[in-house]
Amino acid sequence: MHESMILMLPILVPVMTGLLLLCMPAVKNRKVLIGITAAGLIVTAALVFFVLFQEADSFTFFYLTKSLPVYFKIDGIGRIFVTVVTIVWLSGGAFAFEYMKHETDEKRYFGFYLIVYGILVALDFSGNIITFYLFYEMMTLLSMPLVLHTRSREAVMAGLKYMLYSFCGAYMVLYGVYFLFRFSNTLTFTAGGVLNQELIAGREQFLLFVVFLMILGFGVKAGMFPMHGWLPTAHPVAPAPASAVLSGIIVKSGVLGVIRTVYYLFGADFIRGTWVQTTWIWLTLFTVFMGSMLAYREKLLKKRLAYSTVSQVSYILFGLSMLDQTAMTGSLLHVICHAFIKCTLFLCAGAIIYKTGKTRVDELAGIGKEMPALLWCYTIVSLALIGIPPTGGFVSKWYLATGALRTKLPIVSWFGPLVLLVSALLTAGYLLPVTIQGFFPGKAFDYTHLKKKEPNLTMLLPVIVLTVLAVLVGMFPSVVTDYIVNHISGLF
């Protein structure tokens, strides 16, 4: 095997393992199903980390046409995203081994879960926009069964909404790819951009419209206003471990698409100071505030967390829209922190549903007496999402705020951090009441019916691991931020 082909192994192994599960006849022994899934996840994770430390960092798989290769290349941004994907996917998979006992069609769920993992690895390793777009579309189609899993009317409608919004966004991106092919030197991701300055002369305003359309298109998956509506509909109806990876990881594919578009195709200098940057900034700030307000008003726990994702992912997009190195460092750090935090929150919600059947926030009084370890994890990551030190959320938001102040953009440089602060207060308002009522339900509360319902180690361990990681990133941030800065310095 050619050493460059090693890059394909962490893509092909989970896809082939998932296809094996889907094609297998009904598995009577559940241990066989879990064993195959666990083996697929562990082997893929090992291959991912093995590949990341290899010298071979690029590989052309095949050619769609003579000038359009399906091309993979590992860079610093790809390493960050694929590492986060792997940690979260392993955690969500381990949790699902127990949780999916009360769901039907486990074989189908785990089959698609493995396939989507492979597609996400391919997305993170994509070396040009053609490869990225190909696997971006595949990710949408193959993650939809996770949303549709229960096959209830609500799930089917949510799946259709997810598909419709995603396709609309993808076609906006495809429109931009056509013109990139016409006006660029290459479609390979290149720090600083690929536009041919001679070809675009006199067409700058049109290409600004093109890049804005691509930002909106990828913003659909990231839940940015005005194309955010699918997210609070789709995430709550999926099984909890699927909701966790959808909210923690799938939305980040839109973020990665925006990074590749702005910083590796058009270049930050092309849109700096234009109407595109201004409009993008205000859309992200509106989404941050809107998502927090809707989460604050929502009573269903999983839907509240989904609205929270709408808000928090736009924190990341806000930092990217600043076109500043410090702000982008905060964005990438928030990619990591939010993935760990939001996955933990959805897994906590899933454990509560699994053990008690309760789905509404107002039903959770006294839950801390029944599930103390779980609620402590929920509380710690909630504080991290609010931005309380020494958690990762505090550090990422510090970089975002200081990066915005550094830009000295009119109004935005001070109004942006203000919106982030107000959103943090709203985040405390919609997350901490669960903790307060869970541990301190009041004297009038009937304690006689309470019983210990702590989830078993299979469900609890992934929650604890992700909680610890969310804190460690905040305690030792330089390990991550130094790496980020080293790999984005050439983009500005």
The residue assigned the tokens 């604050």 is: 296
**pTM, entire model:** 0.94
User: Rounded to whole angstroms, how far apart are CA atoms 366 and 370?
Assistant: 7
Residue-wise pLDDT tens digits, 177-214: 999 999 998 999 999 899 998 888 889 999 999 999 99
Helix, coil or strand: residue 379: helix
At 1 the pLDDT is 47
Q: What is the pLDDT of residue 185?
A: 86
pLDDT tens digit sequence for 436-479: 998 888 776 766 677 778 888 889 999 999 999 999 999 999 99
Task: Give the pLDDT confidence score for residue 4 in this predicted structure.
Answer: 63
pLDDT in tens, 213-258: 999 999 999 989 888 888 888 878 888 899 999 889 999 999 999 9
Residue carrying structure tokens 């092909």: 12
CA angle 19, 20, 22 (to 5 degrees): 60
- Which has the closest alpha carbon to 338: 81, 10, 4? 81
**Residue ranges in the chain whose pLDDT is less than 70:** 1-4, 55-56, 444, 446-448
DSSP 230: T
Calpha distance 289→421 (Å, rounded): 10
pLDDT (0 to 100) of residue 56 = 65
| Burial per residue of 323-346, b for 16 or more beta-carbon CB atoms within 10 angstroms, e otherwise | bbbbbbbbbbbbbbbbbbbbbbbb
List, as own/partner pairs, every contact residues 58-64 make where C-beta atoms lie below 8 angstroms and the sequence separation is at least 24, other chains included. Answer: 58/4, 58/7, 58/127, 59/4, 59/5, 59/7, 59/8, 61/8, 64/130
Which residue ranges make up each domain of the chain?
Answer: 272-492
Q: For residue 456, count other CB atoms closer than 10 A to its CB.
A: 10
**In whole angstroms, what is the distance from residue 336 CA to residue 256 CA?**
12
DSSP letters spanning 320-371: HHTT-HHHHHHHHHHHHHHHHHHHHHHHHHHHHHHHH---BGGG-TTHHHHS
